[in-house]
Amino acid sequence: MKRFIDKHPVLRRLVYFFPVQLLLVQLKKNHLILLFWLLLFGFITQVMATRYGVGYLFVDPEYMDEVGFLSYFIVGFSCGGFIMAYNISCYIQNAYRFPFLATLSHPFIKFCHNNFIIPLAFLTVYVCEIVSFLGKESVPAGEQLLFVFAFVSGVCIFISMGFLYFIYTNKDISKLYGVKCEGEESPGKRRRVRRLVLRRDKSWKNIDLTREARDWHIETYMAFPFRIRLARSFDHYDKEMLIHVFRQNHNNAVFFEALVLITLLLLGSFRDVPVFMIPAGASIFLLFTLYLVMSAVLYTWFRGWSNAVFFGLFVLFNWAHQYDLLSNQTRAYGMDYTAAPVEYSNERLHYYDTVRSWRNEDSLSTIAMLERWKAKNSGGDSAFKPKLVIFNCSGGGLRSSLWSLYTLQQGDSATGKKLLSHTAAIFGSSGGMLGAAYLREQLLRQQEGEPVRYDDPELREHISTDILNPMAFSIAVNDWFLPFQKFEVEGQKFSKNRAYAFEQKFHENTLHSLDKSLSDYKLPEAEAKIPMMVFSPTVVNDGRRLVISAQGVSYLTQSLPGGRIGYNKLPDGIEFSRFFKDQGADKVRFSSVLRMNATFPYVTPITALPSTPQVEVFDAGMRDNYGLVNALRFLYVFRNWIEANTSGVVILQTRDKSKEQAVEPQESNTIMRALGRPMSSFYGNLFVVQDYNVDRELEYAGQWCRTRIDVLDFELQNESPDRISLSWHLTKREKAKVIASMKAAGNMKALKRLQELMSEEMPVTPLNAQAGKAGDDAVNN
């Protein structure tokens, strides 16, 4: 190959051009650095993490709840920091392979100038993606130019700051020894310098510059701005002098990176200041920058052992995090973690499954609530039966939050303000429950005389405002490195991490209206002022449902009493309020309940509860993404009362995608696809399998429910290729698409059917009225 190149002068000049050799040395030696570039290219081109909208975090950055000049500038500034860290890391690890650099003035600047291929390609693609995205958003050409200018300015300003630092602190061979660059000095002076260098640079004594120059031959390099120059021979220079130049430059680079590292970590101390809540895309750049900085520092100290040391430090931090001093464990705020933890064992779970007095007590309390619900919706006239509405909402980040809130508003408006009044219970998971909870709170406040309206269109903007920025910032500068910041709730101290950031930003977006404890909703629900809400996050330890409600709901977790079938019953649910009663379950913050129910893997941290062994919970969608399991149990338990006192049940269900998905086309069966297919198939079909199971449960419900049940699906129009992100960040176009989904033919049909159902009424017969007073099966048994 070398002979072939030598025979073609043009090819030889190209191959041995310094920028090309820098790219080749990185391809051979710096795979982890290139991995970050690969990820970034994948993000901005929407090739990777498309479903989660990661690319939008870069092309549509949001800062202080606005997308504008400043948000693009901050992302550009962070991008410039990453590019600078990339250059420094490459210089520290590779500069000595190109000894001719030490003979030039400002060797580090020359290195960065020639290390342009990957950064320039990335910035070019990045700018094109910004323009393409803004064009789709119908942003005027003038604003597009302004935003691109802001981004490029941010990149250039950070890089210029870095260059100024190195220009004034780095020393070349001329400044160190008074020798003209690319010239020779006297033999006497050379001997004097060699003695000095040997004393200071013994750690570099194993570096063979001649061998490195032979392995990475350079014939030309790029001088500022675009001039091509020949790389002069370095043989007439003392090798120790050249090494000393590299060493001095490296020390300055390490100092600069250490300064950047400390600055970034200290930013975590200002996490509660809104001005420091930078765009999520900028936080991703910061996170990658931190790794490059640390890897460069470790390489300087340990050279070939740097990767092993980095792995060792990771193991050390992993071990240290089990202790309270460094633990960044996420907890349910408001609970008492100083109390003796409750025992979590099969024996205790079976005990909680068999205490029938709880089931009877909770059933009677719920019937009393339903009686108040009926009185409210019948106007005191017992001759009519109201429709009982159950609202089920799916998970899906902010898109589901907005969709569930908007569907309730539209449904309530279409039914003449009947829908919310007739809604007795709300079940569901993840983002959908956030939207339903916010609307329910506004309904309560309006009833209590506060100057708010639950049908206010402004609520849609509140619930769909970005939550991801502070979470991403927390991940980048705080969660893994400085888990020492604390805050206090109910006398308990908790760590400030991305869970804390999630709740604080959610409170800010919703004007702190949901800054309450779970028990604050006990009385309003019992009085039927608002629907009861039931949450069921999944227990990581064994897959059980942790059923959380302000009311007693043991009937949703206990196995059915009696029956004609004998089998080994396995409790599949835990009632939060009773199981963690001594650990302050009633004082848990409502926002923590919402967060536990919406724990998106890795983005929102898993929550640990005070038990032994420790119970951890995450997203409810892993067991019941639409809340229908709880809804059907609720209907079964109170089927007698429902038959006697209602004219039927309407289950209103919001879905973040169509129930019936198109069959995927056959794709080429590569080795990687074959290896990943089992896991991707399991996760990709998780919610489809849930639909199959629930449809079968609905089929069986026809055997025990003597009241008509109508299930109405309101489906978000979220088909490929223009999917709405499964994220805690939405673009303006995505928000508009959520709102426009209501006009889809299927949703308009469901809305019309809802109007018809809510207009139906049925007189109560004395026989049915008497049956209703008998209560549910649990009480009778």
Written as one letter, the residue type at 32 is: L
Nearest to 598 by CA among 732, 731, 498, 460: 498
Domain definitions of the chain by residue range: 2-320, 342-562+570-659+751-776
> Residue 171: what pLDDT?
65
25-29, 425-429, 524-528: least confident range = 25-29
* pLDDT tens-digit series, residues 283-319: 889 888 888 877 777 766 666 666 677 777 777 766 6
> Residue 757: what pLDDT?
93
> Residue 437: what pLDDT?
97
Query: Residue 712: left (phi > 0), alpha (psi -120 to 50), or beta?
Result: beta
Q: Cα(295)–Cα(315) distance, rounded to whole angstroms?
A: 16
> Residue 237: what pLDDT?
57
Residue pair 101/219 in contact by the 8 Å Cβ criterion: no
**Residue linked to tokens 């079968």:** 696
Q: Structure pTM?
A: 0.85
Q: What is the DSSP string of 667-735?
A: ----HHHHHHHHHHHHHHTHHHHHHHHHHHHHHHHHHH--S-EEEEEEE----SSSPPPSSS---HHHH
> Residue 335: what pLDDT?
94
In which band, very low, low, confident or very high, does the pLDDT at 764 lie, cut at 50, 70 and 90? very low
129-133, 166-170, 230-234: least confident range = 230-234
DSSP annotation of 7 reads T
> Residue 405: what pLDDT?
97
In which band, very low, low, confident or very high, does the pLDDT at 399 lie, cut at 50, 70 and 90? very high
Q: Which residue has the higher pLDDT, 547 or 136?
A: 547
- CB-neighbour burial class of residue 665 (10 A; exposed 0-12, middle 13-18, buried 19+): exposed
For 680, residues 6+ apart whose C-beta sits below 8 A from its C-beta are none
- 66 pLDDT above the threshold of 50: yes
Token pair of 381 as six digits: 């006239």
